[in-house]
Amino acid sequence: MEALPEFALARPRTIAELAAARAAHPDAGLLGGGTDLMVNIRRGIVAPKVLIETKGVAALRTIAAAESGFEIGASATLVEIAEHAELRRHFPGVAEAAQSIAGPTQRIMGTLGGNLCLDTRCIYYNQSQWWRAANDHCLKTTGTMCHVAPKSRGVCFATYSGDLAPALMALGAKVELLGPAGQRRLDLAALYIGESRHDGKGKGDGKNFLGLLPGEIVLRVRVEDRGGWRSGYDKMRIRRSIEYPVAGVAVALKREGDALAGLGIAVTGTNPRPVLLEGTEALLGRAPDAAGFAKLDDLVRDQIMAMKTTFTQGFYRRRVAGVLARRLVERLWNI
Amino acid sequence: MPRLLTLTLNGRARSDAVADNLLLLDYLREKLGLTGTKTGCDGGECGACTVLIDDRPVLSCLTLAASCEGRRIDTVEALSADGKLNAVQRGFHEKLGAQCGYCTPGLVMASEGLLRRDPDPDEAAIREALASNICRCTGYVKIIEAVRHAARLRAEAAAP
């Protein structure tokens, strides 16, 4: 038996108990399904002294129609999101993204909150203790140098690979947070600050990629049904289950007659944050034609930053992201 | 710090003192001697440690024992009764769904979870339900035949 490091487990049942536990232990690990956090604890990558289990908070397990959309609690499981018939009817992209995560057993365990806050990944980080020690620890753990970009001057490039964030961001979802200073709501895209600018002047990076304030927790996500929008999610993996993406793309679009009237695209698996593409309005007002797709490919290639954080080469991930985006726009346009 | 854990394991209620950092896998294997559940990758990638919690497959190598308070847990030891294999075990045995056997308890439990939820799955549903379990021997074809066979055996046993 390989013992885990010592930690205390808190099992709150209500949002108030959860918030109190979090406020008392701002450095605690938030434990959803454990499919990400427990792996990292077992590998000696992180060693929180306190774990706060979120699944016991019944009020956060609901998926409910609210106003003109849906509210999904942070402790709703991935299988519940994937199999929720009403949610799938309104927002197929969200259900497709949930269905694409890991394998069926991981989806029974994993939660929305865990997937949104999924730790960033890198081939120099997601390794055993002895592997990392032999290679000199990277700066996302205890080291001083990024092995992916040795000249990065303290900037980490570990890759964000959650699937629900891009699917929800493309639809303009908001996230509700609770912290010691109270509740606040922001665009889900604004939760992700991992800009990782090479000059070190970005807001965050692969190590500091979530815009949560100390003691803050994700309560739920709200996605509005804006009427007439179609959505989808697609990703490429080397293996079709229990595998992280080469690249994942979420598209939400609105078609009016023969013209694109709205387009949101978000990409995962390439940057230290899910990237909500800027400049997609350049494709609006006409049907997506060859020129439009060329423009789309430019947007993808310009804004994503596939570094050597996975076993798949960066240039290939960039190409795959562009192809997935084009295919998905074509599929949704022709529904 | 130890806490008292009360749960239903393989149909029987029991209570044990467990530490907060004890994994369900280690609770089953090391504390209770139920070694049918296998330690594989230790990282949630292989499915050898799959058990059922409230009839749904879960990876016991990533689940804390203390999180299972009040839950109903079934391991591979629960399946046979009176010396007889259950339908899934017979399916794997009769259709040669096991070779080296190391992944088998996990695959059996994932299949058992599938059949409790969907008694008559088609091949696509079987492939989908077993996608969290890795087998390096069989190539999966015999495993899929085994689950289909198990579904028939269950249906026969349930028929009047």
B30-53 pLDDT, tens digit each: 999 999 999 999 999 999 999 999
Residue A1, pLDDT above cutoff 60: no
Percent of chain A topping pLDDT 70: 99
- Which residues does chain B have within 8 Å of residue A104's beta carbon, measured at their own beta carbons? 57, 110, 128-132
Is the domain of B91 the same as that of B26?
no
Do B18 and B57 sit in the same domain of this protein?
A: yes
In a shared domain, residues B35 and B91: no
Instruction: Say yes or no for a CB contact (<8 Å) between B131 and A242.
Output: yes
pLDDT digits (tens, 9 = 90+) for A248-279: 999 999 999 999 999 999 999 999 999 999 99
Is residue B114 domain-shared with residue B93, that is, in the same domain? yes
Residue that is last in its domain, among B43, B78, B113: B78
pLDDT of A18 above 60: yes
Which pLDDT belongs to residue A101? 98
Q: Which residues of chain B neighbour A35 with C-beta distances below 8 Å?
A: 44, 59, 62
Six-digit token string for A220: 């739920």
Same domain as B110, residue B61: no
Residue A28 confidence (pLDDT) above 60: yes
Q: Residue A53's closest chain B neighbor by CA? A: B67
Note whether B66 and B7 are same-domain residues. Answer: yes
Residues B34 and B93 in one domain: no
For residues B74 and B102, membership in a common domain is answered with: no
Are B69 and A11 an interchain contact pair (Cβ–Cβ within 8 Å)? yes
CA-based nearest residue to A187, from A221, A163, A216: A221
CB contact under 8 A, A7 and B58: no
Instruction: Answer yes or no: is pLDDT of B1 > 80.
Output: no
Predicted local confidence at residue A3, as pLDDT: 76
Length of chain A in terms of residues written: 335
Angle between helices B104-117 and B141-158 (to 10 degrees): 50
User: Scanning every residue of chain B, which has its alpha carbon at the shortest distance from the alpha carbon of A244?
Assistant: B45
Q: Which domains does chain A have, with CATH numbers?
A: 8-51+63-333 (3.30.465.10)
Question: Sorting pLDDT into bands at 50, 70 and 90, what band is B159?
Answer: confident
Mark which of B31, B49, B78 sits at the end of a domain: B78
B6: domain CATH number is: 3.10.20.30
The answer on B6 and B73 residing in a single domain is yes
Residue A79 confidence (pLDDT) above 80:
yes
User: pLDDT band for position B21 (50/70/90)?
Assistant: very high
Q: Do B137 and B74 fall into the same domain?
A: no
Task: Give tens-digit pLDDT for A307-333.
Answer: 889 989 999 999 999 999 999 999 999
> Does the distance separating the beta carbons of A241 and B131 come in below 8 Å?
yes
Q: What is the CATH number of the domain that holds B95?
A: 1.10.150.120
Across chain A, what does the average pLDDT equal?
A: 95
Structure confidence at residue A282 (pLDDT): 96
8 A C-beta contact, residue A15 and residue A59 = yes
End position of a domain, from candidates B61, B78, B95? B78
Give contacts of A 72-111 with B, CB under 8 A.
Answer: 102-106, 108-109
For residue range A156-184, list pLDDT tens digits in order: 999 999 999 999 999 999 999 999 999 99
The predicted structure's pLDDT at residue A263? 98
Domain with B99 in it = 87-158
Q: Which residues of A touch B22 (CB under 8 A)?
A: 4
pLDDT tops 80 at residue B127: yes
Other CB atoms within a 10 A radius of the CB of residue A180 amount to 13
User: Which residues of B are less than 8 Å from A103 in CB distance?
Assistant: 47, 131-133
Cβ separation of B132 and A5 shorter than 8 Å? no
pLDDT value of residue A78: 98
B109 and B151 fall within a common domain: yes
Q: Dig out the tokens for A271 from the structure.
A: 């940057």
Burial A1-19 (b: 16+ CB within 10 A, else e): eeebeebbbbbbeebeebb
Determine the pLDDT at residue A68.
87
Pairwise CB contact (< 8 Å): B57 & A53:
no
- Closest residue by Cα to residue A317 from A279, A268, A250, A264: A268
ipTM: 0.97
Model confidence at A92, in pLDDT bands (50, 70, 90)?
Answer: very high
Instruction: Give me the pLDDT at residue A202, please.
Output: 79
Total structural domains in chain B?
2
- What is the predicted pLDDT for the residue at A2? 57
State percent of chain A over pLDDT 90.
89
